[in-house]
Amino acid sequence: MPNQSSNAAFPPAIFLMGPTASGKTDAAIALHESLGCELISVDSAMVYRGMDIGTAKPSASELARAPHRLIDIRDPGEPYSAADFREDALAAMGEISARGKIPLLVGGTMLYFKTLLQGNDNLPASDPAQRAELEQELAAHGPAALHQQLERIDPEAAQRIHPNDPQRLLRALEVYRQTGRSLTEHWREQQRQPLPYSIVQIALEPAERTELHRRIEQRFDAMLKTGLVDEVQALYQRGDLLPSLPSIKSVGYRQVWRYLSGECDWDSMREQGIIATRQLAKRQLTWLRSWPSVERIQVPDAELEQRLLKIVRNVSS
């Protein structure tokens, strides 16, 4: 991944990354209020309207203090891809930079950050028939068996993709079956479209994994107490949404959907939701461990805002 942070001829931008429950939203709001940075959400679930509690979407009061672009821009029944995000993010960044402000992109969807940096891939469009066949295999044999297939055909992708990440697992297998070539081969051969910004990349990383797990559990319980089940119930009752949609596959929503459909009881739903969130955080940290040119800050940190300001002023000066 190219180092985008050194070209002074480009306008500045900031990436603020980190696993779920690491405090990214609070940190971004602090930078907005201190430096006037304008915020762009980098979250594949926050794009959907009516999905507020389970995505930990900034509250109405927080959005009033610090508006975020690319939140509530899609209905849950509509697809939204990394390529869509890149197009929308570039448009927002251009508008912000044209007014002399610094775009601050904050979130944990690492594929979106990667696509923004490197450009769109040259992968074929999804084939509904091929995807249906793979989903049948997944239901019949389980994710471990499909992950073993991926290990044989694309070991590098298998290292990046967790067996419990069915969307990315099925996509990698689908690409191979459509083209006869691995996902990794396609990524290597794609034409790079470097991002024309001078970027500071910051990662908030937990000092202790046990503390992150505690925060995840507390936050999921708080979501349940503040109406997550009612939120998913409203989506469930629409009648036009399916559990195979990316929106409903989002962490938390998938587990509550199963509870509402009678596939599990309350305690199992809660446990599965917490486990899925921990797995998401682990995948995000795996991305970040190999992410180059990034300033890493361990959290919690009593001097977090001061550390962020010191880093960010290097790009804004």
Q: What is the chain's length?
A: 317
User: Domain for residue 248, yes or no?
Assistant: yes
User: Domain for residue 102, yes or no?
Assistant: yes
Local structure of residue 63 (DSSP, 8 states): H
What's the pLDDT at 2?
37
User: Domain for residue 301, yes or no?
Assistant: yes
Are 250 and 107 within one domain? yes
User: Domain for residue 2, yes or no?
Assistant: no
pLDDT in tens, the chain (317 residues): 434 444 557 899 999 999 999 999 999 999 999 999 999 999 999 999 999 999 999 999 999 999 999 999 999 999 888 888 998 999 999 999 999 999 999 999 999 999 999 876 666 777 778 888 998 999 999 999 999 999 999 998 898 888 888 878 998 999 899 889 888 887 776 655 678 899 999 999 999 999 999 999 999 999 999 999 999 999 999 999 999 899 999 999 999 999 999 999 999 999 999 999 999 999 999 999 999 999 999 998 989 999 999 998 876 65
Q: Which of 189, 211, 228 is the last residue of a domain?
A: 189
Instruction: For residue 132, give every residue at least 6 positions away whose Cβ sits within 8 Å of its Cβ, in sequence order, or none.
Output: none
Q: What is the largest CA-CA distance in the chain?
A: 57
Could you list the residue range(s) of the whole structural domain that residue 170 is in?
Answer: 128-189
User: Domain for residue 96, yes or no?
Assistant: yes
Q: Which of 155, 189, 223 is the last residue of a domain?
A: 189
Are 80 and 216 within one domain? yes
Are 218 and 234 within one domain? yes
What's the pLDDT at 316?
62
Q: What angle do CA 81, 289, 55 make, to 5 degrees?
A: 40
Do residues 66 and 33 make contact, with C-beta atoms less than 8 angstroms apart? yes
CA distances from 242 to 136, 206, 239, 283 (A): 16, 35, 8, 25
Are 213 and 176 within one domain? no
Q: Convert 43-73 to b/e letters by CB count within 10 Å (16 or more is b).
A: bbbbbbeebbbbbbbbeeeeeeebebbbbbb
Are 80 and 136 within one domain? no
What's the pLDDT at 230?
98
Q: What is the pTM of this model?
A: 0.79
Are 151 and 256 within one domain? no
CATH number at residue 162: 1.10.20.140
* Distance in angstroms (rounded) separating the CA atoms of residues 206 and 52: 24
* Distance in angstroms (rounded) separating the CA atoms of residues 183 and 69: 31
CATH number at residue 21: 3.40.50.300
Are 77 and 201 within one domain? yes
User: Domain for residue 7, yes or no?
Assistant: no
Are 79 and 200 within one domain? yes
* Distance in angstroms (rounded) separating the CA atoms of residues 99 and 212: 38
Are 113 and 223 within one domain? yes
Are 214 and 201 within one domain? yes
Are 91 and 175 within one domain? no
What's the pLDDT at 128?
75
Q: Which of 189, 222, 237 is the last residue of a domain?
A: 189
User: Domain for residue 3, yes or no?
Assistant: no
What's the pLDDT at 1?
40
Segments in the chain forming alpha helices (H): 24-35, 60-65, 82-98, 110-118, 128-141, 143-153, 155-160, 166-179, 183-189, 209-225, 228-236, 253-260, 266-289, 304-316
* C-alpha torsion sign, points 239, 220, 51, 47: negative
Structural domains of the chain, count: 2
Are 310 and 196 within one domain? yes
User: Domain for residue 305, yes or no?
Assistant: yes
